[in-house]
Structure 1
Amino acid sequence: MLEGIAPALVLIVGLALAFDYINGFHDTANAIATVVSTGVLSARNAILMAGVLNFGGALLGTQVATTIAKGIADSQFVVPAVIVAALLSAIVWNLITWYFGIPSSSSHALVGGLAGAVVAQAGRGALHTAKLEEVGTFLIVSPVVGFFIAMLLIIVILWIVRHTAGHRVNLAFRKLQLVSAGAMAFTHGTNDAQKAMGIIALALITYGKLHTHGVKVDVPVWVKLACATAMGLGTMSGGWKIIRTMGAKIVKLRPIHGFAAETASAIVLFATAHMGIPVSTTHVISGAIMGVGASMNVSAVRWGVAGNIVVAWVLTIPISALLAAGFLKLLAPFF
């Protein structure tokens, strides 16, 4: 698989898997915060479930990986130093936001880092502007879509169960939330693990180890398995600070609300993964949780916490781009 390759390629593969692992524990909360906060599952069991389903979801499809590998910039300008700088930028930003318990976007960090490093290396002309605008639009629109789908879904569900006793509703949705949390975890793996696959595929293309067929990138099986494993293991290591923020600090949830938020998020993530659009699972589930909370009572949402999350959303791309440009300058003498 990796015989006779350059040390820089080994470094890139290692960093991509490290990013994938960090993405797993950084974004664990996306899949399980609501199911933990509603008391349906213990954190331990929820993390184990999410880890297994993240692994399975990571093996489904390569559309997002193709976008990362070929859609962001011209491959000829993506030299090894650019890829390393982008990965270091995304890893550093993920660790900073994890440390402070801020649910930021690994997708934003990676796309911003890659774009920033490419611009620093070859100028803006090296970027695929149209594709970046499409990705950027979906990164902004997807949490809004999650917000309104979740709001509509919870309103419909509450209308359906309006004549049912509260304890029966709670019991039913404690079971149903296992399904919705599982779907969220699976689609999280489908969307997020493919980002690391795309980076490794991009590096393999750069070194002539992988040949593309038109617009499609045939990601090697070993890359899929390695990224799925890293994502699953990262998820199983947990991300307690972000779990607390996502599961309790935005709005207090019951199983019926958790089911609506997770189902809405899974719908958005499955659709965007199918279209090959790398969106933020963090932003989508955050938007869905806010939508559920707003449907109950606008004042039920802790908008101060939500505001901090939005600030992190806005800052992630420019900061990761600047970090990547800085890393590129530091790395240039060694490549």
Structure 2
Amino acid sequence: MITPLLVIVVILAIAFDYINGFHDAANSIATVVSTKVLSPFHAVLWAALFNFAAYFYFSDHKVANTVAKTVIENYITIYVILSGLIAAICWNLFTWYFGIPSSSSHTLIGGFAGAGVTNALLSGATAADALNLGYVFKIISFIVLAPIIGMVISIIITLIIVNLSRWSKPATAEKWFRGLQLASSAALSFTHGGNDAQKVMGIIYVALVANGVVSSSSPMPEWIPIVCYTAISLGTMSGGWRIIKTMGTKITKVTPLEGVAAETAGAITLGITEHFAIPVSTTHTITGAIIGVGVTKRVSAVRWGVTINLLWAWILTIPVSAILASIVYLIINIFI
């Protein structure tokens, strides 16, 4: 049944998707802006275009299915979803304001799981009863694995490119790589849209299931992916300049060649994880890739102090989001 609360939850989910877009815009365009291949305005338009283009390719919604199954269906209510969304939006806005490239994906999953666990505990069950641990362990493991995979692939690509182009004239190589960076940025934006929009699709779908609008065995209504891809694209067009500064300049100085390597590595990693239905963090992935291109120059080229601060944000995202969602759920529970 469609209720006013369900409508509010869907609106909040779309709002989160929009915030995800401008929060994570830096992932797709930080290097292309920092190397001055595109102006910030043209870069966000470029990224938004390929964010939405992912709608026409990623039709299996495997990542959305993983997110939807994070919490056992018995403990999913409309209030659980509402609490998770409120917590995720608050943490995303907080990290955006301070220019911290945290994971929107893990914020959403942490909030959803935290509210689900609280609901289970209030019902006399345990946290383990509320969570589909196989999916949870997969998601948590890739907090570590995604940036490492991105870093390793970027190192390999950088070394291959450097060796292939070592006899080229610097001016000619620069021109080529500035052009190639448009393609690598497009690829990263494409896979970013395909991975991140699906996470909100999964949340909206479980909200519909929780309210009895569709059954859990029904296919996802087509309006959900259209709305989610549109929202994340519009969010990307709004930019995320605080985080772009961190990603594009504070971790390491990036040249067009290194931008191509980092973005290509990020796109490959996201493509692989999407194929295996793993909702990884685009932020973690591209950060690892940027660190990789810095390391190929020399270890000291990476500003490790900034990187360590980012790692703390990554570690804290899921538990902080879960705690926030738990508090919100407890407050809501007082009034219902």
Report the TM-score when normalising by structure 1.
Answer: 0.96
Deviations 1:60-87 (A, max 9, x none): 23111111112x0111211111101111
Q: In the alignment, is the contact (CA less than 8 A) between 1:32 and 1:46 conserved in 2?
A: yes
Partners in 1 of 2:47 and 2:219 — Cα distance? 27
- Per the TM alignment, residue 222 of structure 1 is displaced from its structure 2 partner at its CA by 0.6
Which residue pairs with 2:254 in the alignment? Answer: 253
Deviations 1:254-310 (A, max 9, x none): 100000000000001011112111000000000000000011111111111111111
Partners in 2 of 1:75 and 1:230 — Cα distance? 26
For 2:13, which of 5, 13, 16 is the aligned residue?
A: 16
Partners in 2 of 1:183 and 1:218 — Cα distance? 28
For 2:166, which of 152, 162, 168 is the aligned residue?
A: 162
- Per the TM alignment, residue 9 of structure 1 is displaced from its structure 2 partner at its CA by 0.8
Map 1:1-335 → 2, pairs under 5 A: 5-59=2-56, 60-61=58-59, 62-70=61-69, 72-122=70-120, 123-124=126-127, 125-213=129-217, 218-335=219-336
Aligned amino acid, residue 46 of structure 1: A
Q: In the alignment, is the contact (CA less than 8 A) between 2:88 and 2:321 conserved in 1?
A: yes
Partners in 1 of 2:219 and 2:101 — Cα distance? 32
Q: In the alignment, is the contact (CA less than 8 A) between 1:76 and 1:206 conserved in 2?
A: no
Partners in 1 of 2:176 and 2:98 — Cα distance? 35
- Per the TM alignment, residue 58 of structure 1 is displaced from its structure 2 partner at its CA by 4.0
Q: In the alignment, is the contact (CA less than 8 A) between 1:103 and 1:246 conserved in 2?
A: yes
SS in 2 for 1:27: helix
Deviations 1:101-128 (A, max 9, x none): 0100011111111111111110311111
Partners in 2 of 1:303 and 1:273 — Cα distance? 29
Partners in 2 of 1:49 and 1:40 — Cα distance? 12
Which range is displaced more, 271-280 or 174-183? Answer: 271-280
Deviations 1:123-152 (A, max 9, x none): 311111121111211222011100110011
Q: In the alignment, is the contact (CA less than 8 A) between 1:58 and 1:191 conserved in 2?
A: no
SS in 1 for 2:208: helix
Aligned amino acid, residue 69 of structure 1: A
Q: In the alignment, is the contact (CA less than 8 A) between 1:82 and 1:328 conserved in 2?
A: yes
User: What is the aligned residue count?
Assistant: 328
Partners in 2 of 1:84 and 1:58 — Cα distance? 25
Q: In the alignment, is the contact (CA less than 8 A) between 1:47 and 1:238 conserved in 2?
A: yes
SS in 2 for 1:141: helix
Which range is displaced more, 258-267 or 204-213? Answer: 204-213
Partners in 1 of 2:137 and 2:68 — Cα distance? 16
Partners in 1 of 2:271 and 2:180 — Cα distance? 19
Partners in 1 of 2:16 and 2:274 — Cα distance? 19
Aligned amino acid, residue 130 of structure 2: A
Partners in 2 of 1:21 and 1:39 — Cα distance? 26
Partners in 1 of 2:106 and 2:55 — Cα distance? 19
Deviations 1:314-335 (A, max 9, x none): 1111111100100101111344
Which residue pairs with 2:123 in the alignment? Answer: none
Where structure 2 has 5 or more consecutive residues not aligned to the other structure, the ranges are: 121-125
Q: In the alignment, is the contact (CA less than 8 A) between 1:251 and 1:289 conserved in 2?
A: yes
Q: Which portions of structure 1, spanning 4 or more consecutive aligned residues, are displaced by more than 4 angstroms?
A: none
Q: In the alignment, is the contact (CA less than 8 A) between 2:143 and 2:314 conserved in 1?
A: no
Where structure 1 has 5 or more consecutive residues not aligned to the other structure, the ranges are: none
Q: In the alignment, is the contact (CA less than 8 A) between 1:147 and 1:290 conserved in 2?
A: yes
